[in-house]
Amino acid sequence: MPTRARSPGGARFYSGIGARGWRDSNYFTFSVRSPALRRWIAAQLPAKPKRVLSVGCGTGELESHLSALRHRVVGLDLSRAMLKRARGRGLGRLVQGDSRQLPFGDGSFDVVIFAESIGHLHLPTAFREAARVLRGRGRLLATTYAGTVKTHAAYAKFGLDEIAGSLAAAGFRVAERRFLSAKRSAVTELPSEAGSTVVYFLAKKRSVTAPTSAAPSPG
């Protein structure tokens, strides 16, 4: 299983985007470019405001949208420059930190989101940490690029079965896997990965059942 976390080159690349902005880079993410995808992701969350952690929040476009819907969003990123730009969007709950050791207590969040960030992470560790900071029956939402989408060299493209396996090993049950064609003004769901640009996972934290006591011996 790949063990890649964000490389130094990748960190410099994203810090440069934080300093200059996406418009002057040769790269993009769908959650930045597509307001329709931000609305689609938001629609997957419960209508009632929840405490949400966004791992790899970048410049905060998705997080701003979720905050406007009254979710209590905390954005986490390694890049100080990215967080500075996200703060300029009015986001107040921003933390510089590492997905391998989340600086939050157990059971702190209702939802953890990885919006196009898992290719920079060590999946087993990041998903275990997500499970730790989620409350019982918490949800994990992840989007990643479909197989035909060209990505930056620093972004590792994991196989879909590999992602599902890492989620299961971390204590999650994969509830949904959807294939999306994400454009600026519309998101279309497709029956397979063919023709899609984004793959979406919804995973639910498995509840831990306390061991039952042995029945007393007769007599």
Task: Tell me the two tokens of residue 47.
Answer: 């209508």
Strand partners, 186: none
Residue 214 inside a domain? The answer is no
| pLDDT value, residue 155 | 84
> What range does the domain containing 31 cover?
8-205
Distance CA 130, CA 138 (A): 10
- Listed in sequence order, the DSSP H helices in the chain are 8-20, 30-33, 35-43, 61-68, 80-87, 123-133, 160-169
Percentage of the chain beyond pLDDT 90 is: 68
What is the mean pLDDT of the segment spanning 118-136? 96
Q: Could you tell me which of 79, 21, 75, 36 has the C-alpha nearest to residue 53?
A: 75
| pLDDT value, residue 14 | 61
Distance CA 182, CA 103 (A): 32
Provide the residue type at 51 as one letter: R
Q: Count structural domains, the chain.
A: 1
Higher pLDDT: 210 or 24? It is 24
Find the range with the poorest average confidence among 4-8, 22-26, 203-207. 4-8
| pLDDT value, residue 215 | 43
Q: What CATH number does the domain containing 154 carry?
A: 3.40.50.150
Higher pLDDT: 5 or 133? It is 133
Task: Tell me the two tokens of residue 60.
Answer: 């905060």
Distance CA 65, CA 127 (A): 24
Residue 1 inside a domain? The answer is no
| pLDDT value, residue 10 | 56
Strands 109-115 and 94-96: unpaired
What is the mean pLDDT of the segment spanning 165-176? 98
| pLDDT value, residue 44 | 97
Provide the residue type at 15 as one letter: S
Strand partners, 177: 201
